[in-house]
Each structure stands twice: as structure tokens, then as C-alpha cells.
């Protein structure tokens, strides 16, 4: 791929998530390598330009207006990273610019009024110096502390300290101002194109040098010494101007492509959110069917990013727990009848001392309304809590599998990390109850609120921060797992959680959270529908991820295979 091919493909590359950024960087990389515009053999070579800079610097030193600078290291073969076009020359910044300095290293008194502008890193923007939130210093402060900077119109300003290190622009202020040391002042002296220098210093080539020269841990900074030693490939002055014109043209095109892409994304996001809202607000299964059909018919236009799928997943679960996902059947045995069967199984567990109840409020009333035939029940009425929290058994290199909170994800048990306990430890440890296939594993902390069905055939041990919810009677644990993962239940969980850095839920509080219980047959229909829709959404997410990765790979390949 040639630079011409790449520029012709701008509109396609711009559709990648980071496409615009990549192409901007590539334009600047082409610029500093001399691949963006044609070279003209009659251009005055860069050597003559650098000689004029040196002559101007010597004259200023002779006149006492500039201190003699320290000698910079010679440029060796090890410094040169690529071959330059005819007429170009490598130069260190301290050779190219008349002078490199910065402002005061101590913030002087400044305020909303004064005699001179006081420029800091926050005022340096890519399109010039911003006067928003600017402050001022007095003439006395300016003359005593900042006289050595002497910024002029057209100088290059470079943020060399702080969160925005590397931002560079051309001074467009035609009045005196003072600087803080976070901003480097690079004096052009009118001898070359300041915007060419600015674009070159924004290139990946220059940024990589600066990144390697950064120091500091909490606050990144680049010293004046390192700036003076940094390298730039210098083109003839006439070519600098041609480069600036071409870069401005291409950056303008990219800005328009980005604006158009953002406008399309904004419209798409608004339509997607409206479709989701219609689905969420549906009051009956029939309305849900209509809203879902509307989404399904436009799903490829509304959902274009893998991240778009998760809100739809959450909406499906929210509809499930509200009884809006499938139609009710008046012939179904009611939830009250089901809970009566469950109560008998629970009484047997209590008689065998396999269950312990938390004290509940006799006058508790759930405000949310349920569909006909549904009922409320606290989790402790539906599940035996097998709780191994408190500590984790001693681990070994092999033996019996140990399931920890790190293994339990949303709807599945993750194989990694694989940890084990010794068989003898398993026998000593697993005395509170043995998980069975179909039980629900629920994490109570780090992270809180993950749930998955037990689908492990072999025996396994449970670590702390996990509770095994073992159903009494014929409770459909697939349905209940989706209830536990729904936004509705997660909100109630958060209300009862404790802790700041790592929130958790106590078993006694978890037991008392009431959940909506449909008739047994409807639980099965809901679980089947959720499984069906989530499988569809999983396929959609994989397709979107593949398309996104392909687009990003194409953008990366275009950059990688570019014929410099």
C-alpha cells in the first residue's frame, strides 16, 4: 500500500474504533519521513536553513541577548532511524531552534486581573493558546521572573510537565505573556515554519523519543536538556510549507470524517435507546413481542458495537423477572401451590438440622406488583444456604478442584484459575453440605452478585465468598439464576451490601431478599426464552466483535504494510 492508496481509503479506515487516530498518526509519520509531498530539486536544502539559524544564534550571543548554549552531542549512525530524502538533514532541537527555555519553577502571585497573561499547561491546546480560565500577573512579577522567556508570535509551545505532557502548539498571542515551567518555549525566530515543527513534534516518531525521555512516576515530565537533544528530520523550508498545507488539508478531511461518524453514531445511539426504552416499558408479553420484533428487524443497524449488546441482555432479564417475557397460562398450577410443596421439603431439611433460618419481618410487604399466579418468597424459603465463608482451605498443586469467587461469572463457571485442595482436606472441609448439579453458586464478595449453575460432574470444594443455593423441591434453578443476575435483584443486593473498597452481602441479609416466584411451568418457559434470547445475543456480540476486530486489523495492516 502506498501513501496515495492509504489516503484514498481514509473513509473506510475511519470507521474503525481507533481508525481516525491511527490515520492522523500516519499522516504525521509520512510527513516527517518526507513521503507526504513531492520533493523539488530546486528547493534550497535544509543545510542552508540550519546555517542561518546558527548565524542568528551567534549574533544574539555576541550582542549579549542570548547565553552561549552547551554543545550538543553529535548525531551518529545509531541516532538515525530512517533514511532522509535529498535536501533534508537530521538536527537536534537545540540546533534547530534559536533557544529552548521555560517559565518560572515557582508559581507567582496570579489572579483574574493583571498586566500580563500567565500561561500554564492547561492553556496549551492543539489549535493555539486558550484564554479560557487564564490568569494574570503584574508587570513587576513579569519583568523580574519571566524576562528570559520573551515569547513571540509564532514560537512553539510544548507541554513538558504534567498530565498533558506532549501537547504542542504554535503561539498565536500577539501580546506579552508569562509562563510556568510546565510549558517549554521553543523560539523559531522566523527562520522556518513553526507549524511544520509543531506537526513534526506531534508525530509518533517524536513522541516515542519523548516517551523514552520522560521521568517521574506520579507526574511525567521532560527536561529542557532532553528536549534540546531530541531529533527531528528537517526538510527544506519550501517543502516545510508544502507539508503544512497538505497536513492541514488531510487533517481537515479527517476532522470532517470524524464529525460525520460521530453524527451517525449519535443518531444510531438515539434510535437504539428509543427501541430499548420501548422494550423495557412494554407492559405485556404481547407488547414485548412487538417491541422485540421491531428491534430484530433493524438489529444490524441499531447494534454495531459489541458493547451495545449488554444493555439488551439486561433488558431481557428485567422483563423476565417482571413476567413480561412469555405469556401467562391460566391453567398453570399457581406459585402458592408450588411454595406449599417447597415448604414440605424445607421442613424436612429443618428437621434434619440441615437448614437455619434468619429472622424475618412478619409484616413485610413487597411494593412491586406481580402477575396473576405469581408470589413473593424470601430466598431462605426456596434454598438451603450451604455456606463455606470465613476462610479458604489450604491449597495444593493438585487434588480436588477448588471453586473460588474468581471462577463464578455471569451464568457460567470459568475454568481458570484452576486451584486444588488435597483429598484429605476436602473430606475435612466439606462438612456443611455438598453441592449438587443444578445448584446455584452465588458470590457474596469480590465480586459480589455473580451467579452460575453447578455443571461440574466431579466433586469440588468451595472457597470463601461463595454460597451454594440448593433448592428445596422443584424450584427451577435456571430461572432463579437469571433472577439473581437481573438488574432488579442486583439493585436490591446493592441496597443491603456493606463495605467500601470491597462491597459484600451477609448471608443473613441475603436470605431475606424476596424474589418473584412464577408457577413452575412458567419458570421453565421463562428460562427457555431467556436462554434462547441470550444465545441470539451471544451470536450477535461475537459477530460484532469479529467485524470490529477485522476493521481494526485492516487499519493496522494498512499502517504496517505501508511502503515508506
- pLDDT tens-place string over residues 384-414: 999 987 778 899 999 999 999 999 999 999 9
Integer CA distances (angstroms), 450 to 75, 380, 430, 481, in order: 59, 18, 22, 9
| Paired strand residues for 102 | 184
Least confident of 141-150, 243-252, 465-474: 141-150
d(CA 417, CA 463): 13
What's the mean pLDDT when you consider all of the chain? 88
What is residue 198's predicted lDDT score, i.e. its pLDDT? 96
Least confident of 44-48, 137-141, 369-373, 399-403: 137-141
What is residue 365's predicted lDDT score, i.e. its pLDDT? 66
Print the SS3 string covering 375-443: EEEEHHHHEEEEECCCCCCCCECCCEEEECCCCECCCCECCCCCEEECHHHHHHHCCCCCCCCCCEEEE
Task: Look at the alpha carbons of 506, 512, 515, 517 in this order and tell me if their dihedral is positive or negative.
Answer: positive
What is residue 559's predicted lDDT score, i.e. its pLDDT? 55
Mean pLDDT computed over 514-534: 96
What is residue 412's predicted lDDT score, i.e. its pLDDT? 94
Least confident of 166-175, 449-458, 545-554: 545-554
What is residue 3's predicted lDDT score, i.e. its pLDDT? 58
Q: How confident is the model at residue 216 (pLDDT cuts 50, 70, 90)?
A: low
What is residue 556's predicted lDDT score, i.e. its pLDDT? 64
What is residue 222's predicted lDDT score, i.e. its pLDDT? 86
Judge whether residue 119 has pLDDT over 80: yes
Q: What are phi and psi of 487, to 5 degrees?
A: -55, -35
Under DSSP, is residue 472 helix (H, G, I), strand (E, B) or coil? coil
Q: How confident is the model at residue 213 (pLDDT cuts 50, 70, 90)?
A: low
Query: Taking the model in full, what pTM does it have?
Result: 0.73
What is the enclosing helix (H) or strand (E) of 74? none
Q: How confident is the model at residue 150 (pLDDT cuts 50, 70, 90)?
A: confident
Q: How confident is the model at residue 467 (pLDDT cuts 50, 70, 90)?
A: very high
What is residue 470's predicted lDDT score, i.e. its pLDDT? 96
Judge whether residue 1 has pLDDT over 60: no
d(CA 80, CA 74): 11
Amino acid at each position: 500500500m502506498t501513501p496515495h492508496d492509504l489516503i484514498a481509503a481514509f473513509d473506510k479506515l475511519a470507521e474503525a474504533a481507533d481508525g481516525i487516530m491511527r490515520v492522523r498518526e500516519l499522516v504525521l509519520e509520512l510527513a516527517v519521513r518526507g513521503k507526504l509531498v513531492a520533493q523539488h530539486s530546486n528547493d534550497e536544502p535544509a543545510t542552508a536553513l540550519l546555517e542561518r539559524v546558527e548565524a542568528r544564534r551567534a549574533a544574539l550571543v555576541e550582542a549579549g541577548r542570548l547565553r552561549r548554549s552547551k554543545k550538543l552531542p553529535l548525531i551518529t549512525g545509531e541516532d538515525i532511524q530512517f533514511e532522509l530524502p535529498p535536501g533534508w538533514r537530521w538536527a537536534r532541537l537545540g540546533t534547530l531552534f534559536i533557544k529552548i527555555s521555560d517559565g518560572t519553577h515557582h508559581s507567582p502571585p496570579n489572579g483574574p486581573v493583571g498586566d500580563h497573561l500567565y500561561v500554564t499547561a492547561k492553556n496549551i491546546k492543539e489549535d493555539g493558546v486558550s484564554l479560557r480560565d487564564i490568569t494574570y500577573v503584574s508587570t513587576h512579577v513579569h519583568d523580574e521572573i519571566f524576562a528570559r522567556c520573551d515569547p513571540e508570535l509564532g514560537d512553539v509551545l510544548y507541554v513538558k510537565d504534567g498530565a498533558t505532557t506532549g501537547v504542542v502548539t504554535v503561539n498565536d498571542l500577539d501580546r506579552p505573556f508569562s509562563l510556568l515551567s510546565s510549558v517549554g518555549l521553543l523560539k523559531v525566530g522566523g527562520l522556518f515554519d513553526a507549524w511544520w515543527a509543531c506537526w513534526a513534534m506531534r508525530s509518533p516518531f517524536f513522541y516515542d523519543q519523548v516517551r523514552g525521555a520522560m521521568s517521574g512516576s506520579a507526574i511525567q515530565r521532560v527536561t529542557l536538556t532532553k528536549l534540546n537533544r531530541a531529533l527531528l528530520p528537517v526538510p527544506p523550508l519550501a517543502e516545510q510549507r508544502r507539508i503544512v498545507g497538505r497536513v492541514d488539508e488531510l487533517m481537515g478531511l479527517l476532522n470532517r470524517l470524524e464529525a460525520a461518524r460521530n453524527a451517525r453514531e449519535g443518531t444510531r445511539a438515539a434510535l437504539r435507546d428509543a427501541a430499548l426504552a420501548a422494550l423495557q416499558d412494554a407492559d405485556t408479553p404481547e407488547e414485548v413481542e412487538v417491541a422485540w420484533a421491531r428491534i430484530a428487524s433493524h438489529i444490524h443497524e441499531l447494534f454495531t458495537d459489541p458493547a451495545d449488546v449488554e444493555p439488551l441482555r439486561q433488558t431481557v432479564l428485567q422483563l423476565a423477572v417482571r413476567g413480561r417475557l412469555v405469556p401467562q397460562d391460566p391453567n398453570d398450577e399457581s406459585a402458592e401451590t408450588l411454595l406449599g410443596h417447597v415448604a414440605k421439603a424445607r421442613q424436612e431439611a429443618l428437621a434434619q438440622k440441615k437448614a437455619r433460618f434468619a429472622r424475618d419481618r412478619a409484616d413485610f410487604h413487597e411494593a412491586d406488583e406481580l402477575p396473576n399466579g405469581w408470589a413473593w418468597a424470601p430466598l431462605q424459603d426456596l434454598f438451603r444456604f450451604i455456606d463455606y465463608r470465613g476462610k479458604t482451605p489450604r491449597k495444593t498443586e493438585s487434588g480436588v478442584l477448588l471453586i473460588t469467587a474468581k471462577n463464578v461469572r455471569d451464568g457460567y463457571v470459568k475454568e481458570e484459575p484452576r486451584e486444588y485442595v488435597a483429598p484429605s482436606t476436602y473430606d475435612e472441609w466439606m462438612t456443611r453440605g455438598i453441592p449438587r448439579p443444578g445448584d446455584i453458586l452465588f458470590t457474596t464478595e469480590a465480586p459480589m452478585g455473580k451467579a452460575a449453575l453447578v455443571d461440574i460432574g466431579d466433586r469440588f470444594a468451595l472457597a470463601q465468598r461463595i454460597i451454594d443455593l440448593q433448592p428445596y423441591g422443584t424450584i427451577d434453578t435456571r430461572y432463579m439464576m437469571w433472577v439473581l443476575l437481573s438488574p432488579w435483584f442486583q439493585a436490591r443486593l446493592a441496597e443491603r451490601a456493606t463495605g467500601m473498597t470491597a462491597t459484600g452481602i451477609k448471608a443473613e441479609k441475603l436470605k431475606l431478599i424476596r424474589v418473584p416466584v412464577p408457577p413452575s411451568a412458567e419458570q421453565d418457559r421463562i428460562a427457555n426464552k431467556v436462554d434462547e434470547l441470550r444465545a441470539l445475543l451471544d451470536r450477535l456480540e461475537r459477530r460484532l466483535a469479529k467485524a470490529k476486530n477485522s476493521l481494526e486489523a485492516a487499519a493496522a495492516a494498512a499502517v504496517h504494510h505501508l511502503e515508506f
